[in-house]
Amino acid sequence: MSTVFVAEALPDADEATQRLPAELIEATLTGEGSSFSEVARCDVEIASFAGAMADMFCGSAMKLPAMAAASGRPMFYAASYQGSA
């Protein structure tokens, strides 16, 4: 599911570039989803949490092209090693 989300968020990125944010989303949803599900939630709280998570993922994914341009490296490399020489 996260690969579809990332493909839609970064339609011009190649598969290798899309892989990193997809893996990060998957790991975050697995950890946070488990914790979030431990407490009973109302529909409004669930929708609010889901929207906030989607905004966070989109914001992060949308930065990848700029990071790559600034570093001169492929997007997945720039995101993985930001700040490395």
Count of beta carbons in the 10 Å neighbourhood of residue 41: 13
pLDDT digit string (tens) for 20-45?
Answer: 778 888 888 888 888 888 999 999 99
Residues 6+ apart with CB under 8 A from 6: 13, 18, 21, 22, 25, 61
**What pTM, to 2 d.p., does this model score?**
0.57
**85 inside domain:** no
Q: State which residues form the domain around 37.
A: 2-80
Q: Which residue has the higher pLDDT, 55 or 17?
A: 55
Asked if residues 39 and 45 have their Cβ atoms less than 8 Å apart, the reply is no
**52 inside domain:** yes
How many domains in the chain?
A: 1
> What value does the mean pLDDT of the chain take?
77
**59 inside domain:** yes
Categorize the per-residue pLDDT at 58 as very low, low, confident or very high, splitting at 50, 70 and 90. Answer: confident
Closest-CA residue to 55 (of 9, 3, 13): 9
Q: Please give the pLDDT value at position 40.
A: 93
Is the pLDDT score of 81 beyond 70?
no
